[in-house]
């Protein structure tokens, strides 16, 4: 997810810090960890962190707006996991959710948007028929603004808890992106790797960019 470990800990478990004048302050967690006592995160938590990362980094949604919107949507839907319970939309200033075919402004409770101008979604999370996240197609550079092309998952690199023990891997070949990156650093030819794993060369290059890009993932 290219998130600093400290950010993951704060979002999942909360964090103590101090104001400049020394007064103590508590950052309240934003998601419900699968096992907070042992500090374990699930794949669903990973998807929640991904959505939060996209909202904060790619769309520059202020944290107070994110927190207020999550509280509102959680109450409206009666769920502890609003980030993956419904598809979230944003126009860069406010946070929205889609429910019963209506686009609602979650940062201004009860206000309904009448048009679909904000209808571009975070489509990199694949769900089953019940709406449960099952696969995540991570961004190559999640801290950069998304172009129209980047909003659509390429499908070459996937995080699937049923594949490679949940490590990022090639969707077709199943080999982890770390293995491909290690081979590339050892001067293996991408074209030969593509033949070895029976995938397109473009898939190999995407795995390399994912692992060795300017925003190599931290968590």
pLDDT digits (tens, 9 = 90+) for 79-120: 888 888 766 766 666 777 776 667 777 877 766 654 433 343
Tokens of 51: 């959505």
Claim: this prediction has a pTM higher than 0.85: no
- What is the phi/psi pair of residue 163, to 5°? -130, 130
Q: What is the pLDDT of residues 156-180, one digit of tens each?
A: 999 999 999 999 999 998 999 999 9
d(CA 126, CA 47): 10
Q: What is the pLDDT of residues 9-29, one digit of tens each?
A: 999 999 998 888 888 888 889
d(CA 134, CA 52): 18
Residue 59 pLDDT > 70: no
Q: What is the pLDDT of residues 139-150, one digit of tens each?
A: 765 434 445 454
State in Å, rounded, how far the first CA of the chain is from the last one.
6
Average pLDDT value over all residues in the chain: 80
Distance set, CA 52 to CA 31, 35, 93, 149 (Å): 9, 19, 14, 21
């Amino acid at each position: 997810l290219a998130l600093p470990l400290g950010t993951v800990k704060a979002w999942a478990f909360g964090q103590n810090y101090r104001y400049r004048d020394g007064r103590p302050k508590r950052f309240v967690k934003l998601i419900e960890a699968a096992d907070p006592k042992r500090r374990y995160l699930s794949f669903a938590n990973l998807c929640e962190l991904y959505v939060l990362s996209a909202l904060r980094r790619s769309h520059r949604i202020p944290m107070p707006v994110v927190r207020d919107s999550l509280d509102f949507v959680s109450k409206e839907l009666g769920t502890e996991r609003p980030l993956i319970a419904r598809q979230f939309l944003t126009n860069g200033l406010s946070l929205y959710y889609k429910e019963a075919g209506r686009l609602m402004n979650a940062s201004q409770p009860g206000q309904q948007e009448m048009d679909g101008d904000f209808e571009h979604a975070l489509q990199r999370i694949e769900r089953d028929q019940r709406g449960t996240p099952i696969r995540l197609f991570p961004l190559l550079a999640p801290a950069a603004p998304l172009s129209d092309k980047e909003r659509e998952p390429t499908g070459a690199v996937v995080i699937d808890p049923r594949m490679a023990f949940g490590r990022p891997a090639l969707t077709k070949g199943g080999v982890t992106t770390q293995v491909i990156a290690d081979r590339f650093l050892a001067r293996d030819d991408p074209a030969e790797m593509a033949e070895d794993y029976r995938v397109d060369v473009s898939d190999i290059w995407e795995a390399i960019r994912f692992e060795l890009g300017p925003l190599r993932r931290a968590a």
